[in-house]
């Protein structure tokens, strides 16, 4: 059996700002497109829909992130302020080479630490959660070897 995670999808209000943030993090923009019509609604169960998407990939080509901005139908719920122990989507975690440099670059795009510090787990990782564009919860991990 072949199984591969294709992408993680995140719905945003400001697609341009979200793309800029994730490009600054290190993802590469594959492309942007409008996904619309009844065929798309049959996949999602939303009926006739119009969604602007941006597909980004990790530099190694193994992971992708799909950002979506719904034009029709309108967004019906907002989970962005949920705490880390809420049921459902929690966060997307990225491994970075230098967590301090990454935090510095992302702070220019509004990223803020969820707690007041980057935490070290034994001699294995430095870890933190940040709130990115629109309050999205994102984890950063730096391997220590």
Provide the whole-model pTM: 0.88
Among 30, 8, 4, 27, residue whose Cα is nearest residue 92: 8
Q: pLDDT (tens digit, 0 to 9) for every residue of the chain, 145 residues total?
A: 776 878 999 999 999 999 999 999 999 999 999 999 888 888 888 888 999 999 999 999 999 999 999 999 988 888 877 877 887 777 889 999 999 999 999 999 999 999 889 999 999 999 999 999 888 889 999 999 8
Omega of the bond leading into 73 within 30 degrees of 0 (cis): yes
Tokens of 17: 């700002």
- Kindly list the structural domains of the chain, giving each domain's residue range(s) and its CATH number in brackets, ordered by start: 8-72 (3.10.180.10), 92-143 (3.10.180.10)
Q: What does the pLDDT read at residue 58?
A: 96
- What's the pLDDT at 84? 78
Which element (helix H / strand E) includes 137?
strand 137-143
Q: How far apart are CA 127 and CA 22, in angstroms?
A: 18
pLDDT score recorded for residue 116: 85
pLDDT at res. 91: 84
Q: What is the pLDDT of residue 139?
A: 92
- What integer pLDDT is reported at residue 145 of this predicted model? 85
Q: Would you state the pLDDT for residue 55?
A: 97
């Amino acid at each position: 059996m072949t199984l591969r995670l294709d992408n993680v999808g995140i719905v945003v209000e400001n697609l341009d700002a979200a793309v800029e943030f994730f490009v600054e993090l290190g993802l590469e923009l594959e492309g942007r497109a409008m996904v619309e019509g009844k065929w798309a609604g049959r996949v999602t169960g939303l009926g006739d829909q119009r969604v602007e998407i941006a597909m980004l990939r990790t530099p190694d080509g193994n992971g992708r992130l799909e950002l979506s901005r719904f034009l029709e139908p309108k967004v019906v719920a907002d989970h962005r302020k949920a705490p880390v122990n809420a049921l459902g989507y929690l966060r997307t975690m990225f491994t970075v080479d230098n967590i301090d440099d990454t935090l510095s670059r992302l702070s220019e795009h509004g990223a803020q630490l969820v707690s007041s510090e980057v935490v070290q787990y034994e001699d294995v990782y430095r870890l933190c959660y940040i709130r990115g564009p629109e309050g999205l919860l994102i984890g950063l991990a730096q391997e220590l070897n």
